[in-house]
Amino acid sequence: MTSLSSALSTTETILALNEQSAPPPERTSPLGLESYISGITLVSGDGPAWNDVFVQVFSRNRTQHPFLVPAIAEPLIVWIMSGSATIEERDLGGEWASSRVSVGDFFLTRSPTPYELRWQADSDQTFQVMHLYVSVRLFEKVAQEILGKTAGNITLRDVSGGSDSTLSHILSLLHGEVVREGGGSELFVEGLAQSLAVHLVRHYAIADTDTRARNALPGSKLRRAIAFMAARLDQPFDLNSLAHAVGMSEFHFSRLFKKATGLSPSLHFIRQRVAKAQQLLQETDASIIEIGMAVGYSSPSHFAQIFRRETGLSPTDYRRS
């Protein structure tokens, strides 16, 4: 990759020929990604100053219906500049996980797979965001210099609705350059881009030597999540509290939990409930209604329906077996 801005300019003509109704690809470029999101481009970094970072500022529609976000190779930061919104993300066919964001909050991703996104702005102010892409060349160079790893062994952890004052300061300075007449100072932008890449690697980089380990929830967090659910089987499933208990956003917790266990958090919770009910049915004389309530089902018929779906037997038949 010689430079990010030159790569973007070469795709512009191709994208202009694409029909908006065409299905989104699984992977795309930074410029290509914008053809799938509604809103107005207010300013875009261009010219020689923007070789290693590509910056765009958008005014987004208040309501964005679900759409597929293709994967991109470049690390992407989305920074909230004006307004506030509830943004929801999910893996394809998975559960929606929400983040409430306002000015200064950010998203960071380098997702290798597509995912779905939607939002609803809830402020009188215009919902404006900055998208910033770090070139693969710069990211790999900084990662290797700081961590002594080969480029393929470093990636970034995902952040949804995070807050980082240092990151916000760098992004604010870059915004000042992108709106400056003449396209900004090449020397200043280069320095800011390097500072940004160093900050990302220092604070958000993770080793990528083991694909399975990278794509699954760490063992300590998995055990904490399972224990958290087990202690609350009589309560409604609460993804937000569960993700908070392990220090992650809902979306990324759900994604990594499913990769670690093969089940979504909510389905794992249901199976924990059923397993506990099986134990109570065999080891106690409590009534089926009491057991159902002990594992969170106030309706006996709903409890029986879930139990039969998971075990193939009614609670009564299971107790007799």
Distance from C-alpha of 129 to C-alpha of 116, rounded to nearest angstrom: 18
Q: Lowest-confidence range among 36-40, 60-64, 100-104, 175-179?
A: 36-40
pLDDT at residue number 6: 47
**pLDDT value at position 215?**
53
User: What values do phi and psi take at 159, rounded to 5?
Assistant: -130, 135
Give the residue extent of every domain in the chain.
Answer: 4-214, 218-321
pLDDT reading at 27 higher than 80: no
pLDDT of residue 10: 39
In sequence order, which residues have a C-beta less than 8 Å from that of residue 60 and are 6 or more positions away? 37, 38, 39, 119, 121, 127, 128, 129
The continuous run of DSSP H or E covering 82 comes out as strand 76-82
Its pTM surpasses 0.75: no
H or E segment to which residue 266 belongs: helix 265-283
- What order do you get walking across the sheet with 115-121 strand by strand? 63-69, 115-121, 85-90, 97-101
**Out of 94-98, 119-123, 242-246, 280-284, least confident range:** 94-98
Instruction: Give per-residue pLDDT as tens, 194-223.
Output: 999 999 999 888 765 444 444 567 777 888
Handedness of CA 272, 275, 280, 286 (dihedral sign): positive
Give the range among 56-65, 212-221, 245-254, 291-300 with minimum mean pLDDT: 212-221
Beta strands in 83-144 (DSSP E): 85-90, 97-101, 105-109, 115-121, 128-134
Whether 110 shows a pLDDT value over 60: the answer reads: yes
Report pLDDT for 19.
37
pLDDT above 90: residue 292? yes
Which pLDDT tens digit goes with each residue over 163-173?
999 999 999 99
Q: CA-CA distance, 178 to 54, in Å (whole number)? A: 10
Mean pLDDT of the chain: 83
- The three-point CA angle 183-188-191 to 5° equals 130
More confident residue, 234 or 320: 234
Q: Give pLDDT, residue 194.
A: 96
Q: Is the pLDDT of residue 144 over 70?
A: yes
Percent of the chain with pLDDT over 70: 88
Predicted pLDDT at 22:
55
Predicted confidence at residue 192, as pLDDT, reads: 96
Kindly tell me if the per-residue pLDDT of 38 is higher than 90.
Answer: no
| Domain boundaries 218-321, corresponding CATH code | 1.10.10.60
Least confident of 20-29, 230-239, 249-258: 20-29
In three-state secondary structure terms, 186 is helix
More confidently predicted of 66 and 93: 66
The CATH number given to 4-214 is 2.60.120.810
pLDDT of res. 68: 84
Tell me the mean pLDDT in the region 262-280: 90
